[in-house]
Chains A and B, each alone.
Chain A
Amino acid sequence: MRHWGVFLMLALAAPAAAQYTVAGQVVNSVTGAPLARARVMVAPVNDQSDEKNFLTGEDGRFRFEGLAAGKYMLYGLRLGYPLQTFGQRALGRQFASALAVGPKHDTSNIPFPLIPGAVIAGRVTDEAGDPADSVLVRPIRLNQRQTLMSAQALPGVWTNDRGEYRIHTLPAGVWTVAASGTPTWSMPGENVFLATYHPDATNPALAKPLTVGAGETVTADIRLSTARPATVMVNIQALGLASPNLRLMQEGPDGAGFTMPRESYYPASDSVTIPGLPPGRYSLLVGPDQMSVAARLDFTATSGGEHQYTMERNGAQVGGKVKVDGPSAGIRGEMFVMFRDLLAGALAHGAIQADGSFRLPELAPGRYLLAIGGRREAFTRSVKVEGAAFADGIVEVTPKAEIDIQVVLDTVTFPVAGVAASDSGPVAGVYAVLVPVNSPLPMMQMRMDQTDSDGTFLWPNLVSGEYLAFAAAEGEDSDYMDAGVREKYLKHAVRLKISPDMETPVRIPLVTVPE
């Protein structure tokens, strides 16, 4: 909530130098048609509360006058279009481009494309061809490139009595849809629909990818198969958890793991019964709370099967020390070590004590992404891991391992400004990527930004050293977390010797890699 008083004071204190205009036209990013009744908001990058807004007329035009020179964020919103930021490359992306305003920039006629959502719609039927009512249909993003991020299932929608569903306002991309539920004609516990992917795949690996562009509607019907539900009984007594939390994940479509959340349980006893499960492959994550995973049970539920499992303690002990060097050395504020489970997305936290030591809750075997939280200005100088395989932020946790992690953070950091350029000049709205040379931690130490309207960008919190840099216009930001993706670009990158007294802005080339 913002304060009126502050807003008025800022308005009164507007400097005399406020003489520039930002004007343009809101258009549909796909058709180019002007968008009437769109709300455009503008706010300085360094003071987002000093906001002005404008409602476009029939011509889609907007105009802000009396702005001081500087960089501004521009936001747009309209009926049928989610809130988005100027320069955002697609819906749901975290990067955008600021608008440079001043004597060198013509901001009198800026096209502001609003990106319409993508739509996946279809009809779900059962084996008899009857519409399947009240079935949950979930969209799952499939990745175009092999990256760290596994497929993500978004909250779904329910079919109506005609079996119809419609998922809208999706970011453009490659998706698949999965339906799950119980036939309305079934007696409880008698029948269940198998988790079925468009068009009729009950094997997640056979899910058909759907490419859907912004503003497009793709039809994806699903034909369900019926099976007898399985019952799974799990004994978790050996885990010795006081108030255990169980999360059941089902195998997802991209081969990356158990990415389809099903249900959470808070059992009152050490014995948990999960009825009505469609046959399939599952992972049961058990932890002391909703976040951490102390033990994991992977199992296959069969049609009509009654499965009994006893879970054993097989988690790893993870602890270590974080050392902070530099002018603001030592542990300050709330710092923590975080492990993100790359198969099911679960998180485990361990607070860093005043002496830098930390200990995580018991951790189930698996593949985890390591991150240090609470010191944004720091640069991860080194990470040493004993008792587990470790490569660039990813820890392979084996059963009952004892893992020691030593981290050194550096706070002698400085930002580096730059500009991305092609042969024809500065390029707006591209990714500026900086990767350390010969570092064992390229992902943890790399920096990324999206260039602003004048092609400029900023890499924060760097330390001196040798780096490779490039600008890229393809894909999305998370793609560049992947070494394989980066490698193709790094061949054409520029080598930079980064230091606090280097000449800025640095110039980096726009690199295009043929698909």
Chain B
Amino acid sequence: MKCTQFWCICGFILAVAAEAQVVEGLQEEQGKFFIRGQVVDGATGAPVARARVSVDNGGPRSVLTSESGSFELSGLGEREYQLTVSRPGYVDGTRQAPNDGTRVLVGPSREGLVIRINRYAAVEVVVRDEHGEAVPGIPAVLYAESVEQGVRRLRQVRRLETNDLGRARLYGLRPGKYMLGTALGGYFTPFLGSYTSPSFPREGYAASMPVDPGEAEAGNWVAVGYGDEVERVLTLRAEAVYDVHGRLSGIPLRPVPRLRLMRGGVDVGGSIGLNQNSGVFAIRDLPVGEYTVEAVKEGSMAVLGRANFVVSGETRGVQVRATPTAVLKGVGAGVEERGFMMQVISLDAGGWVQMATLGPNPPGGDRNEIAPGRYAVSVNRQASRPRGVEQQDTPYVASIRVSGQDVLAKGLTVGEGGGEIIVEVETRPGAARLQVKADEMEAAWGVVAYRETADGPVFYEQSCAAGRECVMPQMPPGGYRVLGWRRDEPVAYRDPAVLDRVASRAVSVVLAERQTAEVEVKILEREEQ
């Protein structure tokens, strides 16, 4: 499939382009305008019957398409409508794959609107043991590579237990590349199940689970396009499994932390039983390998403690001692009084994004715990404009420093041993405004603006709604390079190789204090990344 074609049919591209034009001050006149159109299959062009076409803004209203795929939405007022189309079997047609929708400006009525929808892909996983027998009740998992805050990570997109035939149908997939695996868990032991036996070791399946995208077996990746139906057989080998016992120490047990089992930086979803009073935990049925267990604060991504351990044939239960983590404390004008939020993005544990609330009264008694490791830091929300401060004096974050180092550019390294990490936030009045328009804004999109410093680039990211231009209101003055991308194809810009490749597509802009600058970017195509 050619890329140009690929993008033509991706999502909802209207045959009739809607000129974005904001009409203000007009009263809605019921019954005056209509939208007439047809829903067709993106691959065959055939009409799609019984597709639901809805407008949601201004009250839900929807119709089903006729046998010829046609629909009419009438009684519309003079304004912009958000249109969604759903049809079982199609991308955006299931609850598993919600859509971004499309926008139509009404007034006058619109006729001859053609909406293309595309069948989603499905992967049928068959899990067998080494004797070729179906393995029931084991979770089959699809992971997709995703990018958050410019960092790549593997994200679980589908998970379903196999049935008695060892089959699991994972569907509603957008085109892309997925990694196939099975998860660890209580259903893991082939011969003993949940039955507790003193016999040792037991036998379990060494899951075909993704470790590192680079290290993963080539056979575990599956690429699908629209409408593809793919069957993949996963063969598991039985081998000895062991129970691991541990205890959390130095970690508050209220609220009860969640325990996360990881291998190669990926959450493998093992079932971990935790005694909420003693902090003693048990992980059942682990095959030989290297693991990390993390205690995560429920409701936030804060890692309260982490311990690495190895399960080997010699091991008959490992004492895992999690150590307390460091605590971030923000200082600086405006931080102590009004609070400040920044994001720390784990660079060595699968790209988990963690929000740190620095300030006088963090919500939920948040202590901003942070585990040892390397992090990228980005400004999530700058200090709000203080009362009585004029618009032109809107503050911006000039720097975030830890031990005198600029962490926005150089990142943050948290060592072992806990303690308090003082985050010095410097804000200055007179933020610049960056207004970004893209060449094509039908789907949800995003902007990254970065400025080069002696210590490396500093990134500012903004997610943008479909059809709208993006505003970044609290930018520090200076020279920037600006990139646009589709929200479902974000850029791994924190990877220097990726940034090198896409830098030529960036638009340069210089932001002056208290001024608004406008730029127009071209949305990055997939092959450009």
Contacts and interface: CB of A to CB of B under 8 A. Distances in A.
Given A37-B191, A79-B191, A80-B164, A185 B87 contact: yes
B52 interface: yes
Interface in A1-46: 1-2, 4, 7, 36-39, 41
A185 B197 contact: no
B193 A83 contact: yes
Interface in B495-529: none
Contacts of A166: 163-165
A254 interface: no
A279 interface: no
A168 B191 contact: no
B208 interface: no
Nearest to B163: A166
Nearest to B52: A185
A161 B87 CA distance: 11
Nearest to B282: A1
A185 B136 contact: no
Contacts of A123: none
A4 B52 contact: no
A2 B196 CA distance: 8
B271 to A, nearest CB: 15
Contacts of A117: 164
B411 to A, nearest CB: 42
B196 A1 contact: yes
Nearest to B87: A185
B135 A79 contact: yes
Interface string B22-48: 000000000000000000000000000
A161 B122 contact: yes
Nearest to B93: A184
Interface stretch (B1-9, B126-134, B466-474): B126-134
A83 B195 contact: yes
Q: Which of B87, B95, B191, B203 has the most CB of A within 10 A?
A: B191
Interface string A165-190: 01011000000000000001111101
Interface in B116-151: 122, 129, 131, 133-136
Given A134-B95, A166-B163, A80 B134 contact: yes
A134 B196 CA distance: 34
A131 interface: yes
B89 interface: yes
Interface string B148-172: 0000000000000001110001011
B60 interface: yes
Contacts of B129: 79
Contacts of B172: 161
Interface in B290-317: none
A82 interface: yes
B103 to A, nearest CB: 19
A72 to B, nearest CB: 15
Contacts of A130: 50, 88
A185 B191 contact: no
Contacts of B51: 185
A377 interface: no
A160 interface: yes
B88 A185 contact: yes
A51 interface: yes
B198 A4 contact: yes
Nearest to B160: A160
B64 A78 contact: no
Contacts of B62: 187, 190
Interface in A48-66: 49, 51, 53, 55
Nearest to B194: A83
A78 B169 contact: no
B164 A119 contact: yes
B197 A53 contact: yes
Contacts of A168: 136, 163-164
Contacts of A164: 169
B88 A133 contact: yes
B163 A161 contact: no
Given A117-B164, A161-B122, A185-B87, A77 B196 contact: no
B224 to A, nearest CB: 14
B265 to A, nearest CB: 31
A128 interface: yes
Nearest to A189: B60
B192 interface: yes
Interface in B442-484: none
Interface string A442-465: 000000000000000000000000
B89 A161 contact: yes
Q: Which of B54, B122, B165 has the most CB of A within 10 A?
A: B165
Interface string B81-92: 000001111000
A187 B191 contact: no
A55 B93 contact: no
A185 B89 CA distance: 11
A76 to B, nearest CB: 10
B169 A160 contact: yes
Contact of B195 (A1, A77, A133, A186): A77
Contacts of B52: 185-187
A239 to B, nearest CB: 32
Interface in A198-253: none
Given A168-B136, A185-B50, A160 B171 contact: yes
A1 B284 CA distance: 12
B269 interface: no
A496 to B, nearest CB: 38
Interface in A136-185: 160-162, 164, 166, 168-169, 184-185
B446 to A, nearest CB: 29
B50 A184 contact: no
Nearest to B238: A37
Interface of B: 50-52, 54, 60, 62, 64, 86-89, 93-95, 122, 129, 131, 133-136, 163-165, 169, 171-172, 190-199, 203
16 contacts: A2-B196, A7-B198, A36-B131, A37-B131, A53-B197, A75-B195, A77-B191, A77-B192, A77-B195, A79-B135, A80-B164, A130-B88, A160-B169, A184-B94, A185-B50, A188-B60
Given A75-B195, A166-B164, 14 more contacts: A1-B196, A37-B190, A38-B191, A49-B198, A77-B192, A77-B195, A130-B88, A133-B88, A161-B88, A161-B122, A161-B171, A166-B165, A184-B86, A184-B95
